[in-house]
Amino acid sequence: MTALACEGVTVTYGDVVALRDVSVGFDRARIHAVVGQNGAGKTTFARVCAGIVRPSGGRLTIGDEAVPVGSVRASRRSGVELVHQSFALPPSFTVAEALEFGSIERTAPVYSRRALERRWADHLASLDVPARLGDRIRDLPVETQQAVEIARALVSDARVLILDEPTAVLAPPAIERLFARLRRLQQSGVTVLVILHKIREVLAVAETVTVLRAGSLVERLLPAAGMRPADLAHAIVGTTGATDDGVTPSIHAAAESTARAALELAGASTRATPEGPALADVTLRVGCGEIVGIAGVEGNGQRTLVNALAALAPLESGRMTLAGKDVTRAPLLDRRARGLRIIPFERNVEGLSLGSALWQNWSARLLVAGRMLRLIDPQRLRSASRNALERWSVRFASVDQPASTLSGGNAQKVILAREIDDDATLIVAAQPTRGLDIAAMAFVWQALRDARARDCGVIVISSDLDELFDISDRIVVLVSGRVAGEFRAPYDLRAIGATMTAAHA
Amino acid sequence: MTSRLLTVGRALAFVAIALLGCAIVFQLAGYPSAGMFGAIVAGAFIAPHAIVHTLRWAMPLFITAVGVLVAFRCGYFNIGAQGQFYFGAIAAAFVADAFGGGPPVFVIPLAIAAGVAGGALWALWPGFLRVRFGTDEVITTLMGNFIAALALLYVASGPLKDASGSGEVAAARPVAAALRIATSSGVSFTLVAIVVVIGVLMWLVVDRTAFGVLGSLAGRNPVMVVWQGARSSRIGLAAFLFSGGLAGLAGALELLGPSGRLLGGFAPTLGFSAILIALVAGLSVPATAVVSIFFGGLAAASLYLPVIAGYPAAAIDIINAAITLLITARAWPSFTRRSRAAA
């Protein structure tokens, strides 16, 4: 029995073909993975199924019934629900309100909060979501928000649930819990389509694997059982040579004790921000040509640390030295002039202006330095940005296209192309691979290693310990805004894990 | 460039639809619609001196609209161009009155500079409140319009009151003839030259300076430029100052040119038409010039509609309103308002 089928689906955005003649049918009550590199068309595929994107050609069948393409209403009526990559629930809603207004059934024009909470109590309990119905969405941790979003998708008896890169925002234990949740849904008869890009996760949860490459379907419904990671990597990338997650471990002999310091943070403390706890007496040294990994459970001061380095959270006490110069009171512009580069946490908010042209996004770093009313040559900046983006193998049609037209991995490469230059002395990379596929990840790690080879200091903040183990010369663990421990290779996973969670035990 | 032409073309198509809709309504109301189109074209371009009338309105509209455009691009919805225009005219009038007998070579530039400063100051306080405290600039600049209109009434019937006037209209003493840069026809070489120079300069500022590009980045995502190290409050204040300064310049030129004196409530819709023009033009300076001439033509034609086609004078207001409705429905999404949370 087929739960959802596409036939000959083609989607084009301007000059870019996002999906080319994709035909596939997913069996009922199973977990199907859809994988591919960034820009392979995974999200577009999900959106076609959900009716958000209208393909230029092709048919959509849901539960053996033809459904008009490009109609969210029609797709949802037929039981297809999409859980978005970035959550789409209104932050100011309570959980009960999100469930009520997420359903497509007609809601009463007047309602009371208590009536809503009564109405949805059973639903939330049956899905085992650890949230109260009166909680506001914005106050919930990311993992719970996602659980609520899944619950929202299931309010009107969904038969096909599509999740677009649900693991990108989750810590490892939360990923396990998500997979358990998906298996329970599958057992209750729901067909699950999950878009993933980590091979390990695919093999952990999926029963079949479908691979997209550059908009075309290259593998259809391969059984996941017994599949070798290398084979799957080959199918995704189209070349051999990638190991699991595409990252080749390397041992880097950093002569860190003798190297000059790219960054010295001495006794740095800040105030708490809405984004996380205060930094408390953080002392951190990053040598030139050294990669320091910052490990920690999310929300333990990583964001505050990046804000403090960027001079966006003022230091209450302590000193900061960048490449030998005291910058404790210097604004970000001066720090950038000293070679500070930042790959921020929020790619689409802090990193790029999505509505603006690629060349403007790329040029921003050059434009902020110098007098504001000086004349510039847009043509020169256009061609310079075209060269840079090509060198960083960004998939784009024109430097005049808005950044919003790029996939997540390509967008991240635009930021790398801007932030990693020859004048960089300290690169702060906050979750640089979040939401990226294996090829793009390998690309990012290689870029950071190259920067290290040029004698640049690098700080990598990641919630993925495997990643940090691979790339870091040294790992510093943050707990509640304090440095709780420092580790050197070979890394002891259990010791680091214990340090990370000590404050929670 | 082609995409921008497309935007303008699409906007002009909406204008055409608006005109067509109006024609149908007028026809049903018993006015010959063919006469409407004829009168508009005649009044704007064909009748004797029609081109002059069109330019007379197109020039202040253009200068003001370019000011609006700068603020909009940077993400600030300065809708106070009308008030800034008035304060420009008031400041210029004070200078012209105080130095009426001085050498025009000095007094005229001084009056114009005063106009620019007056308009800029009337935009500075909403700008300061916006970047410092996050006060909604839509409210402050809109309210500023009412204050400016009352200030104009006060100045024209108080400090600069024309003693020889009838008193029915608040009218100030006329500007000395030697200081006028255009007659009441509103077009002269000096005036056109100033407008062209300012237009080119502002095109450079918007398209060819670091401020222009960063401003448009900030207009779409203020957080991103902060992470690049830009001081967003400075970009914001500069946007307000440019915006108000240009409206003030238009006010000064209007005073020293066609108006020749302050009149209570003169050119009452100019600042709002300028907003419309900037949006129709897709916030591009060259397109703003073209669209300004079109709207200047409509303004000129409003004199002809009653005379030639027997339409009530309010017909032009109805046409303008119809255009506004269609354009705003179309033009807003391209530049979204920056959210309060981002400030």
Per-residue pLDDT tens over the stretch B217-264: 999 999 999 999 998 899 999 999 999 999 999 999 999 999 988 998
Looking at the predicted structure, is the pLDDT value of residue A499 above 50?
Answer: yes
Closest in B213, B223, B230 to A376, CB measured: B213
Strands of the sheet containing A208-213, edge to edge, are A80-83, A160-164, A191-196, A31-36, A208-213, A216-223
Set of chain B residues whose Cβ sits within 8 Å of the Cβ of A360: 213, 216-217
Is the pLDDT higher at A110 or at A286? A286
Overall residue count recorded for chain B in this entry: 343
> What pLDDT, on a 0 to 100 scale, did the predictor assign at position A393?
86
- Spell out the residues 6+ positions from residue B99 whose beta carbon is closer than 8 angstroms to its own: B106, B107, B110, B111
Instruction: Report residue A253's pLDDT band, with 50, 70 and 90 as the boundaries.
Output: very low
Average pLDDT over residues A208-234: 86
The pTM of the full predicted model, rounded to 2 decimals, is: 0.73
Closest in A312, A344, A376 to B209, CB measured: A376
A2-246 fold: Rossmann fold (3.40.50)
Strands of the sheet containing A317-322, edge to edge, are A282-287, A261-269, A317-322, A325-326
Set of chain B residues whose Cβ sits within 8 Å of the Cβ of A349: 221, 223-224
CA A378 vs CA A362, A382, A390, B207, B213: distances in Å? 12, 6, 18, 8, 9
> What pLDDT, on a 0 to 100 scale, did the predictor assign at position A242?
37
Closest in A331, A352, A373 to B205, CB measured: A373
Q: What's the whole-number average pLDDT of chain A? A: 85
Q: Say which residue the tokens 């939330």 belong to.
A: A124
Joined together, the tokens standing for residue A460 give 């990598």
| Per-domain residue ranges of chain A | 2-246, 261-504
- Could you give the CA distance from residue B91 to residue A480 in angstroms, rounded to a whole number? 58
Set of chain A residues whose Cβ sits within 8 Å of the Cβ of B220: 353-356
Average pLDDT over residues B157-179: 83
Lowest-confidence segment of A138-152, A182-196, B78-92, B105-119 by average pLDDT: A138-152
Closest in A356, A365, A374 to B216, CB measured: A356
- Could you give the CA distance from residue A271 to residue A363 in angstroms, rounded to a whole number? 33
Looking at the predicted structure, is the pLDDT value of residue A240 above 70?
Answer: no
Looking at the predicted structure, is the pLDDT value of residue A9 above 80?
Answer: yes
A20-77: pLDDT as tens digits: 999 999 999 999 999 887 668 888 899 999 999 899 989 999 988 899 998 988 888 8
Range ranked top by mean pLDDT from A436-445, B14-23, B107-116, B281-290: B107-116
Set of chain A residues whose Cβ sits within 8 Å of the Cβ of B217: 353, 356, 360-361, 364
- A261-504: CATH class: alpha beta
Phi, psi of A92 (to 5 degrees): -85, -5
The reply to whether domains A2-246 and A261-504 share a CATH topology is yes
Inter-chain touch A372–B211, beta carbons under 8 Å: yes
Q: Which of B5, B227, B284 to mutate to test the interface with A (most CBs of A within 10 A)?
A: B227
Looking at the predicted structure, is the pLDDT value of residue A16 above 90?
Answer: no
Instruction: Report residue A309's pLDDT band, with 50, 70 and 90 as the boundaries.
Output: very high
Q: What sign results for the dihedral spanned by CA atoms B121, B122, B126, B127?
A: negative
Looking at the predicted structure, is the pLDDT value of residue A254 above 50?
Answer: no
Looking at the predicted structure, is the pLDDT value of residue A15 above 70?
Answer: no
> What pLDDT, on a 0 to 100 scale, did the predictor assign at position A14?
67
> What pLDDT, on a 0 to 100 scale, did the predictor assign at position B337?
44
> What pLDDT, on a 0 to 100 scale, did the predictor assign at position B330?
56
Q: Does CATH place domain B2-342 in 1.10.1760?
A: no
> What pLDDT, on a 0 to 100 scale, did the predictor assign at position B2?
58
| Closest residue of chain A to B235, computed from CA coordinates | A372
Looking at the predicted structure, is the pLDDT value of residue A453 above 60?
Answer: yes
Inter-chain touch B227–A350, beta carbons under 8 Å: yes
Instruction: Report residue B276's pLDDT band, with 50, 70 and 90 as the boundaries.
Output: confident
Set of chain B residues whose Cβ sits within 8 Å of the Cβ of A378: 207-208, 213
Query: For residues A265 and A304, is the Cβ–Cβ distance under 8 A?
Result: no
Looking at the predicted structure, is the pLDDT value of residue A462 above 50?
Answer: yes
pLDDT > 70 fraction of chain B, expressed in percent and rounded: 93
Query: For residues B218 and B75, is the Cβ–Cβ distance under 8 A?
Result: yes
B64-73: pLDDT as tens digits: 999 999 999 9
Q: Is A462 helix (H, G, I), strand (E, B) or coil?
A: coil
For helices B189-208 and B210-220, what crossing angle results, to 10°?
60
Beta strands in A126-169 (DSSP E): 160-164
- Could you give the CA distance from residue A483 to residue A450 in angstroms, rounded to a whole number? 27
Range ranked top by mean pLDDT from A148-162, A192-206, B24-38, B89-103: B89-103
B130-159: pLDDT as tens digits: 999 999 999 999 999 999 999 999 999 888
B65-121: pLDDT as tens digits: 999 999 999 999 999 999 999 999 999 999 999 998 889 999 999 999 999 999 999
What residue type is assigned to position A320 of the chain? M
Q: What's the whole-number average pLDDT of chain B? A: 87
Inter-chain touch B227–A312, beta carbons under 8 Å: yes
Instruction: Report residue A238's pLDDT band, with 50, 70 and 90 as the boundaries.
Output: low
Instruction: Report residue A497's pLDDT band, with 50, 70 and 90 as the boundaries.
Output: confident
Joined together, the tokens standing for residue B133 give 């405290």
- Spell out the residues 6+ positions from residue A366 whose beta carbon is closer than 8 angstroms to its own: A381
Lowest-confidence segment of A166-175, A194-203, B292-301 by average pLDDT: A166-175
- Could you give the CA distance from residue B281 to residue B286 in angstroms, rounded to a whole number? 8
Lowest-confidence segment of A399-413, B66-80, B172-186, B315-329 by average pLDDT: B315-329
Looking at the predicted structure, is the pLDDT value of residue A13 above 80?
Answer: no
Range ranked top by mean pLDDT from B24-33, B56-65, B94-103: B56-65
- Spell out the residues 6+ positions from residue A215 whose beta carbon is closer than 8 angstroms to its own: A11, A17, A18, A19, A20, A22, A40, A41
